[in-house]
Amino acid sequence: MKKIAILGVAAGLLMASGGTVYAEDSVTVTGEVVDTYCYALMGAKGESHRSCGITCIEKGIPAGLLEKGTDKLYVLLPNKDKSPLPKAVIDKVGRQAAITGKVYAIGGSQFLTVESVK
């Protein structure tokens, strides 16, 4: 128990100092895929915003995953540098998805690499 507490404090200090914190193992996060621009500025999400969200992401607006139950927003990143997001991410805009990948946190922002989409 003491080891877990020490690791938690260390992770908290690293995050507070602006360092990168990431999950060693892949995790699966469930929620709605949104375009970050319309969600951040207008709270737009859901099936009624699907068409606009797809267009925004296809034009270069970052996709995000709004975690079910917590409303924590993860900016979605490709699993490999210089690669696009998988087409499966765009297919889930405005809908629920279970995305598996690694979580990265830096400067108060949360990111999730996309290894798989269900």
User: Residue 8: what pLDDT?
Assistant: 45
User: Residue 24: what pLDDT?
Assistant: 84
Q: Hey, what CATH topology would domain 20-117 get? A: OB fold (Dihydrolipoamide Acetyltransferase, E2P) (2.40.50)
Nearest in space to 112 (alpha carbons), one of 45, 39, 43, 30: 30
Residue spans of the domains in the chain: they are 20-117
User: Residue 21: what pLDDT?
Assistant: 85
**Position 24, amino acid:** E
Per-residue pLDDT of the chain (118 residues; tens, 9 = 90+): 443 433 344 445 444 545 788 878 999 999 999 999 999 999 999 999 999 999 999 999 999 999 999 999 999 999 999 999 999 999 999 999 999 999 999 999 999 999 999 9
The pTM of this model reads 0.82
User: Residue 19: what pLDDT?
Assistant: 76
- In the 3-class helix/strand/coil scheme, how is the chain assigned residue by residue? CHHHHHHHHHHHHHHHCCCCEECCCCEEEEEEEEEHHHHHHHCCCCHHHHHHHHHHHHCCCCEEEEECCCCCEEEEEECCCCCCCCHHHHHCECCEEEEEECEEEECCEEEEEECEEC
User: Residue 100: what pLDDT?
Assistant: 98
Q: Which residue has the tokens 């989409």?
A: 117
Report the residue count for the chain. Answer: 118
Are the beta carbons of 95 and 32 closer than 8 angstroms?
yes
